[in-house]
Amino acid sequence: MSTEQPALFDPMPEAAVPGYSPEDFPFFHGPRSMADAGLIDPSWVATLLPLSSTLQQIARDLSARSLGGERILPDPALMLRALQLPVDQVKVLIIGQDPYPTPGHAIGLSFATGAQVRPLPRSLGNIYRELHGDTGIPPAEHGDLGSWQDQGVMLLNQVFSVSAGLPGSHQKIGWTAISTAVIDRLNRSTPPVVALLWGNQAQKLVGAMSNMVILRSAHPSPLSASRGFFGSRPFSTINHELEALGRDRVRWRLPSA
C-alpha cells in the first residue's frame, strides 16, 4: 500500500459504520475455517495454525475499535485475500505497508483497488506510469490487479487492516506476526520467489528474505517516486529474473474492466 495521505476532503459515505463482533472476522474462527470458506487457499493453513490465538486477539482488537466508532477497512472477509494465492504458485512478492485508508479503496491486495474506483490512488497511478515507461504498456483505467495475482504475483501488505482516514493506525495490533510468517514460508520456496521491495519500510524485511531474489527501489508514493522509483524498471527486471529461474514471465498488461 502507499504512504500517501487519504483524500480527506472527500466526504465519507453516509452509510452507517458497522460495529463488528470478534466473530464477524473470519480469521477469528481459525485458518481451517477460512480455507473451508474459500477465503484463503488451504496451502496456507499450516503457516497460520500456530498463529490462531494471535488472529483471535486481532479480531477482538478490531471489534473493540469498530464498536468504539472506528471504521475498519477493508471488509473483514477481504483482509487476508492475498492468501487466496496458493503457496506453490507464488513466484513474485510485492510488499505494501497497509491498506488504503480511503473508504471503498482497500480490497485486501497491496496497491490494488476495486475496478470501479475513480480516481485511482496516486501511488497506483505512479506504478502505471513506470509500467508504461518500462514496458510500453499503456496505463490501465482501473486498479484491479487480480490478473497479476492469477499469474503468481502475491500483493501482500505487511498490515492487513486500517482505520478509515488514519494510515498506519493498525501497525501495532499483531498483523506483522502474520505477514512475517507468510514471508518466512515463501522464503523456503523452490525455485525462489522474486521479491519487489518499494521504499524503506519494505526494505527492512530483507533479512527475512535470504533465499529470495530481491529487487528494491524508492516507493511509488508522490513523496518519493521521483527519488528513484521512476526509471527503476521493476517489471522488465522481474521478468528477466523469472526467466533466469526457468519460470514463466508475468503478462503485466491488465484486461479492460
| Structural domain includes residue 170 | yes
| Structural domain includes residue 135 | yes
d(CA 34, CA 77): 9
Supply the pLDDT for residue 18.
81
Compute the average pLDDT of residues 71-79: 98
Supply the pLDDT for residue 17.
76
Where residue 233 falls among pLDDT bands split at 50, 70, 90?
A: very high
| Structural domain includes residue 58 | no
Nearest to 139 by CA among 126, 152, 154, 151: 126
Using an 8 Å Cβ cutoff, are 240 and 213 in contact? no
Number of folded domains that form the chain: 1
pLDDT at 3 over 90: no
Compute the average pLDDT of residues 82-95: 98
Supply the pLDDT for residue 4.
45
| Structural domain includes residue 68 | no
User: Could you read off the pLDDT of 170-228 as tens digits, one per residue?
Assistant: 999 999 999 999 999 999 999 999 999 999 999 999 999 999 999 999 999 999 999 99
Supply the pLDDT for residue 2.
44
Average pLDDT, the chain: 94
Question: Residue 134 is part of a domain; what is its CATH number?
Answer: 3.40.470.10
**Catalytic choice (10, 36, 61, 98):** 98
d(CA 156, CA 92): 10
Helix 122-135 crosses helix 234-244 at what angle (to 10 degrees)? 60
| Structural domain includes residue 38 | no
Range of the domain at 230: 81-244
pLDDT at 112 over 50: yes
User: Could you read off the pLDDT of 152-176 as tens digits, one per residue?
Assistant: 999 999 999 999 999 999 999 999 9
> Catalytic residue at 10?
no
| Structural domain includes residue 35 | no
Alpha helices, H only, 94-168: 122-135, 146-150
| Structural domain includes residue 67 | no
| Structural domain includes residue 57 | no
Where residue 257 falls among pLDDT bands split at 50, 70, 90?
A: confident
pLDDT at 132 over 60: yes
Percent of the chain with pLDDT over 70: 94
